[in-house]
Amino acid sequence: MGIEEDVYKIAAPAEIAGRTAWYTDLGSSGRQIYSRDAWGLGQYEDEYKTHSPSRYAILPQIRLEPIISRRAMELNPKGIRYGMEVIEAENKDDHVVLRVGPSKETDAETKEILAQYVIAADGGRSMTNKLDVAWEGEKDIFHMATAHVRTPLRDLHPDARNFLTWFTHPEMGGSTKTGFLYQIGPWPWDENPAEQQEWVFACALIATDPSSFDRETMINRMRATLKIPDLAIDVISLSHWTVNAISAAKYRVGRVFLAGDAAHKIPPWGALGMNTGVQDVQNLVWKLELALREPGNYQMLLDSYDTERRPVGSSVAASSLHNLLSHSLEMDKALGMSPTASSAENADAIGPFFEPKHPDYPAKREAVRKAQKTLDTEFKAPGTEVGWFYPSADAWGEAERTRHAGQIREDGSFDTEFYHPSTLPGHHLPHAYIEKEGRKVAVRDLIPLSKLLLLAGSPRWYDVGNKLVHVEMIGQGGWTDIDGQWQKQKGVSEDGAVLVRPDGIVAWRGEWHDSRLQDWPDILSRVLSEDEPLASRVRCADYLTGFSTLVENQRTMPGR
């Protein structure tokens, strides 16, 4: 999209973005319970650098959206319409009728817009329900209140490097009910005074909270949690929401596709909600581009959006719920804290954790260490973040036979703690740096937006290139594998090749000698889930252009 530099320019610096900690409170008697690195930074930085050319970025949506909006307006200045909302989407045989009106009460009239396809990404506000799509998973787990505030906490925090601070103290009996706090800038710090710093405070509602949890209530609750009774707090916004871990029962309804929160509502414990939504659209747009280019074909490819993305959405929702519950079931339990116990009982339970001479001190410390290991699923989980894959894209069964290169353990469980890079079909194209003529890029930077990419080790593969496939050479006069990472991860010989989809998912890999030239169109048809086999269509001649001499010479082509 061309916005990475703009994002990093105003995102949280690395020394903040990769830290989280637990405190009883921030007052004069507050104690730190635990502090750790997280999200691919700090002690995990070297490991994560082998997974991606980009580091984890923390930027609140209120600052990210203007960056995306500016770029969208540059790319499609007449297609972005603010102040409007889709009231209804009606499927027809070959198009969708959208009824669009102003989002606020004005004199503007409702209009109809015809579209060949629609991506419904309205944050789960209404379109999913209007399309009569059911939700699956756990709903209404508990209610939360979240405040976006401006307060000079930077100088009051014992360690302001912590992006996210969790609180648990005896009076409120547990982390979620006590609350958590995270920074949202603006950054860099040296350009913004402490009193302009913005934070988000969130907490679950408790029995003693008033029925009308207004701004004054939130200020009192925040001061009580932090134990700073005179803290100046300016509430910019206050919202109430319900924790859900649900996914839509289907992601496609006719020509309408659900994406983002319209397809899945994911608890924020793990911070994968927006990322999962972006992945939805990345999976879908190249398929739509093909379907628009050739109407009547690629319906099976469009169906694969649901087949591929819905299990991921459900899985991320479930894992995020697991992260949420681990705070109480693991961390609070390790400390002996309970929401049903009295303040005095909780104080007695947590006390030994801070007393080295207490006989229970070693056991408490070990229990917290084990709890934090469980919480790695939230704070150090590259398997979850990068190692997910699409089983249905494994058309030749190679990934299943190898337990997805170890991403699936021998006992059948998914390895969340480590990412096992591979070029198995259905997996992400692994990260590696390559160089040519003084230009250093990541292998993923070679992926076209609307073509398949064939990464080959021999020039003979150039003959495969056509309007659907772009060929790049790594080795033999092409790109140079800088540090051997590509050689280590490519999974084929020097004569082999790896075919990659526009969304960065490996579609196929094979050797030069595996099959004949005539099979290549059928390989593409299988990769693209075409409604009519490519070789049987008149258009097949387009793909075989330039191949005729090779066919006559009976030279072999790749396959599985």
The CATH number given to whatever domain includes residue 477 is: 3.40.30.120
Task: Please tell me whether residues 170 and 231 are part of one structural domain.
Answer: yes
Same domain, 89 and 147: no
pLDDT tier for residue 50 given thresholds of 50, 70 and 90: very high
**Tell me, what's the pLDDT at 265?**
95
What is the per-residue pLDDT for 513? 83
The average pLDDT across 18-44 equals 95
Q: Which of 227, 242, 257 is the last residue of a domain?
A: 242
What local confidence, expressed as pLDDT, does residue 287 receive? 97
pLDDT of residue 431: 98
The answer to whether the CB of 519 falls within 8 A of the CB of 543 is: no
Res 538 pLDDT > 60 = no
Same domain membership, residue 198 and residue 95? no
> Which domain, by its residues, includes 102?
82-114
pLDDT value of residue 517: 57
334, part of any domain: no
Q: Tell me, yes or no, whether 105 lies in a domain.
A: yes
Assigned domain for 469 exists: yes
Confidence check: pLDDT of 370 > 70? yes
| pLDDT, average across residues 147-161 | 94
pLDDT tens for residues 178-203?
A: 999 999 999 888 888 888 899 999 99
Closest CA to 218 of 181, 175, 249, 252: 181
Assess if residue 21 is contained within a domain.
no
Residues 168 and 93 in one domain: no
Residues 148 and 110 in one domain: no
Instruction: State the pTM of this model.
Output: 0.90
Q: What percent of the chain has pLDDT over 90?
A: 76
Q: Is the pLDDT of residue 285 over 90?
A: yes
Statement to judge: residues 101 and 205 lie in one domain: no
Higher pLDDT, 175 or 324: 324
The predicted structure's pLDDT at residue 441? 97
DSSP β-bridge partners for residue 181: 165, 201
Give me the pLDDT at residue 210, please: 81
Q: What is the DSSP string of 189-215?
A: GGGS-GGG-EEEEEEE--TTS-SS--H
Confidence band of 530 (pLDDT split at 50, 70, 90): low
Residue 8 falls inside a structural domain = no
Q: What is the CATH number of the domain that holds 152?
A: 3.30.9.10
* Strand ordering across the sheet containing 19-23: 32-37, 19-23, 164-167, 180-183, 198-204, 143-150, 234-242
Q: Is pLDDT larger for residue 558 or for residue 417?
A: 417
* pLDDT for the residue 174: 80
Q: Are residues 472 and 537 in the same domain?
A: yes
Assess whether 109 and 177 both reside in one domain: no
In a domain, 515, yes or no: yes
Kindly report the average pLDDT of the chain as a whole number.
90
Tell whether 106 and 147 lie within a shared domain. Answer: no
Report pLDDT for 456. Answer: 95
pLDDT-based confidence at residue 521 (cuts at 50, 70, 90): confident
Q: Which of 242, 271, 297 is the last residue of a domain?
A: 242
Q: Confidence class of residue 536 from pLDDT cuts 50, 70 and 90?
A: very low
Residue 463 domain flag: yes
The arithmetic mean of pLDDT across residues 537-549, rounded, is: 34
Over residues 43-48, mean pLDDT: 96
For residue 274, tell me if it sits in a domain. no
- HEC letters along 375-426: CHHHHCCHHHHHCCCCHHHCCCCHHHHCCHHHCECCCCCECCCCCCCCCCCC
Same domain, 105 and 168: no
* Shared domain check, 180 and 92: no
Residue 550's pLDDT is 30
Number of domains the chain is built from: 3
Higher pLDDT, 238 or 206: 238
Q: Please, which pLDDT band fits residue 477 given cuts at 50, 70 and 90?
A: confident
Band of pLDDT at residue 558, cut at 50, 70 and 90: very low
Last-in-domain residue among 242, 274, 295: 242
pLDDT per position as a tens digit, 90-144: 999 999 999 999 887 766 788 999 999 999 999 877 899 999 999 999 999 989 9
CA distances from 447 to 367, 464, 480 (A): 46, 16, 17
- 437 with 555, same domain: the answer is yes
